[in-house]
Amino acid sequence: MTGSDARVGDLDERTVLAHILDRVGPTGALLGPGDDAAVLAAPGGRIVASVDTLVHGPDFRTAWTDGFSLGWKAAAVNLADIAAMGARPTSLLVALAMPPETTLGEVGAIADGLRAACAELAPGCAVDGGDLAVSDTLTVAVTALGVLEGSGPVTRSGARDGDVLAVSGRLGPAARGLSLLFERFRDGAGRPIPPRTADLTADERGDLDAQLRPRPPIADGRRAAEAGATAMMDVSDGLLLDAARMARASSVTLDIDSAALGGDASTALTGGEDHALLATFPAGVRLPGSFAAIGRVREGAAPGVLVDGEEPRGRGGWDPYQDWDRGRG
């Protein structure tokens, strides 16, 4: 039986792989899936590469997400890392480690999500290969590749005194969506239960969607590079924490204007997983795409982050080693 209810533990690798390849769509690679490695064309001779892993438990819960959303998010978070370097995403390599009871329908839904995210967020990018394994814990690992198209990479270390600090993308909705899941969709024993979107307001549904299916402004990565961005990074772990990383790399102080973050500035500062792009631009440069100014760069005795000219209280954000068990249920 090879219908959607078939379990991967009852099938062979070839059948499962064929089911995925039928769904992720055509490839633009010189040599795509089916060999030991993909062969990719690289304009300019430079490839940008990144990898990210989503593990059931600390990164997602199957009770809260479906296969399509999981595939979408796995693609989106990796596409954002490539965009944050000022590159255009071109290829994903996906490794799935699945429990034997995972159904073929669930595998297909993950593949559908991967394809849909690439089509919407980074047209021209495709799944060009990967690996399958059996595991007690559902895990999705994605390697993303991109090209610079004639410009150099935009790193975290180029911010300079006088630059404008700007962000593209929303800050806060994904964190509110995660809080919603923990507060409203657990049983009496604290175990996750499927969310009932009918019970949510339109704003709450939007926050939940931002958590489960983030939509990073991928195209703005290239726009920022072309506009002369001096530094850039993906905001995945919270604005305060990620801005501090940029400040240390650039040996500067980033002064954030909380009023520029909107009404829920606290969540915008400490929440994560929206995968917005944080960048600095020389003063006077017209900000590209959806970038909006949220502060400025200045010299400081020690690199760091200020909010309205003052040091913020607490670290904020998400550190996978310090916070891996936060809110586990």
| CATH number of residue 116's parent domain | 3.30.1330.10
pTM: 0.90
Residue 52 known to bind ligand: yes
Does 49 share its domain with 112? yes
Residue 264 known to bind ligand: no
Output the pLDDT for position 38.
75
Residue 131 known to bind ligand: yes
What residue numbers bound the domain in which 44 lies? 8-147
Residue 255 known to bind ligand: no
Output the pLDDT for position 321.
44
Percent of the chain with pLDDT over 90: 77
Does 302 share its domain with 213? yes
Domain tally for the chain?
A: 2
Residue 310 known to bind ligand: no
Does 106 share its domain with 174? no
Whether residue 3 is contained in a domain is answered as no
pLDDT (tens digit per residue) in 219-257: 999 999 999 999 999 999 999 999 999 999 999 999 999
Q: Tell me the torsion sign for CA atoms 99, 63, 206, 173.
A: negative
Does 58 share its domain with 117? yes
Residue 187 known to bind ligand: no
Whether residue 324 is contained in a domain is answered as no
Give the domain-ending residue among 147, 177, 193.
147
Residue 262 known to bind ligand: no
Whether residue 166 is contained in a domain is answered as yes
Residue 4 known to bind ligand: no
DSSP alpha helices (H): ranges in the chain?
13-24, 67-83, 104-121, 173-184, 202-212, 219-227, 239-250, 265-270
In this prediction, residue 324 has a pLDDT band, given cuts at 50, 70 and 90, of very low
Q: Residue 23's closest CA among 102, 104, 115? A: 115
Whether residue 250 is contained in a domain is answered as yes
| CATH number of residue 303's parent domain | 3.90.650.10
For residue 51, CA distances in Å to 12, 69, 102 come to 27, 19, 24
Give the domain-ending residue among 147, 174, 207.
147
Residue 324 known to bind ligand: no
Residue 183 known to bind ligand: no
Q: Residue 36: is its pLDDT beyond 80?
A: no
Residue 236 known to bind ligand: yes
* Order of strands across the sheet that contains 139-147: 47-55, 139-147, 88-98, 126-134
